[in-house]
Amino acid sequence: MTSSTFTIRVDEAAKARLEALALSTGRSRSFLAAEAISEYLAVNEWQIAATRAAMDSLDRGERVAHESVRNWVESWGAAGELERPSARKA
C-alpha cells in the first residue's frame, strides 16, 4: 500500500499522550496516528452505512413497532427471552 504524508494539529496534551503511547509500545507516533485514523474511519463508515440502510428500509415501509422492541429488550436474560422482532410493512 502506498502512503502519503499530511500534517494535523493537536493540542499539547494529545501530543504528549501520543508520544507516551509510542514510547511504551515501541511504535512510532506516525504509526499510531495512522492506526487511530484507520479505526476512526472504519467505525464511522460502518455507522453511516447502517444509518443509511435503516433509512432505506423505512422508506420501503419496513418498520418494527416500538412496543415489540421494548418487550423484546425487557425479556433479555429472562427464561422466556423473546426472539428479535422482524420488520413488517407499515
Shared-domain flag, residues 33 and 15: yes
pLDDT reading at 90 higher than 80: no
CATH number at residue 5: 1.10.1220
Shared-domain flag, residues 46 and 77: no
Shared-domain flag, residues 33 and 69: no
Shared-domain flag, residues 33 and 74: no
Q: What are phi and psi of 74, to 5 degrees?
A: -65, -20
Question: How many distinct structural domains can be found in the chain?
Answer: 2
Whole-angstrom distance, CA of residue 30 vs CA of residue 18: 9
Range of the domain at 8: 1-59
Shared-domain flag, residues 51 and 68: no
The single-letter DSSP state of residue 6 is -
Neighbours of 1 (CB within 10 A): 2
Mean pLDDT within 22-38: 97
With cut-offs at 50, 70 and 90, classify the pLDDT of residue 1. confident
Contact 32, 22 (CB under 8 A): yes
